Structure 1
Amino acid sequence: MAPANDVMSEVEKDIFAKIANNDVNGLKNTLVQQKIEVDIYDENGMTPLQHAAYKGNKEIVQMLIDRGAEVNSGKHEYGYTALHFAALSGNAQVCHLLLMAGAKSQTTNSIGRTASQMAAFVGNHACVAVINSYIPKSDVDYYTIPQGLETEPKLPPTVAAPLHKFVMQ
């Protein structure tokens, strides 16, 4: 179960309210002025990133990721991650953004379902396609290291990042 944050500061409440209202500029100003940590929690153990993902707000999700938000937070009371919420919102672009930032697609919630399974359950097929076709960068990196009796890797290490980015477009 999540750590309940029954005593949120006014600034924390303001951050969650601005996300709920899709107030991108207001949120940006608050984060800059207050210099506050972005991985704060509400009463359900949800972070601002999880709220933004649920709202399907790509701009706020990107802003929070750029400020160091943890994409795999596991403190929600039912084990939902930002990727679960993005999948439920139906915004495939937000799902892609979270995956590119390191979200783990195989994480399960309290009922044993992945983000892709939750998206399928509610009919968000574009999200299912994005999540299921995602290739983690670590899978590409595997080919930059000689395996077994190989003396050379299959790919030069310098091409791993651009290749991953190209494949995931």
Structure 2
Amino acid sequence: MSHKEPSNGARTARCAELPAPDAPAVVEFTRKHRRAVLFCRDDSGQPIGYAMHSIRAEPGNLYFSTYAKSAKVGHLRADPAVACILLSDQDANDTVWVSVRGVAEVYQPSKEEVDEMTGAGSSDHRVPDSVVAKVRDRLIDGKRSMIRVTLDEVCAARLTGDTDNESGGRHRGT
């Protein structure tokens, strides 16, 4: 299979050039950049994406909160295979991002886990503490659920604003 250059002039990297999901650069990126689009399959098997905001990232895992009765919960329970793009809030000409694949698990967290994840307030200045408190309360009373995405691979990434450092392709864990 030949390796072709993308039409936008960005370099496509070979598999070995992409970091593992738990590599320090990926972990740091996912902790710093919380804006995400989570992709799964709908009831008909077609891909569908949801704009999300991760509430926690740790080596090999991303965490999201959603309403327990949302369509995405049903989709994820039917087929837990997901893809996710996390991206910065920078302007379109300097956006950094990482694309990952993994498996989602929907679950009800314990009160202790909710308190650990939500902490003393928002880690994002754009999200008021009152919103964090409401999410916390709804997680505890079961109106919201947690989605844990266990990352299997980094599919492509642009972890810096340097366009010469852009990577695409696939990574198979080492």
TM band (smaller chain): under 0.3
Relative to its length, the structure with more strand (as a share) is 2
Relative to its length, the structure with more helix (as a share) is 1
Normalization by structure 1: what TM-score? 0.27
| Structure of greater Rg | 1
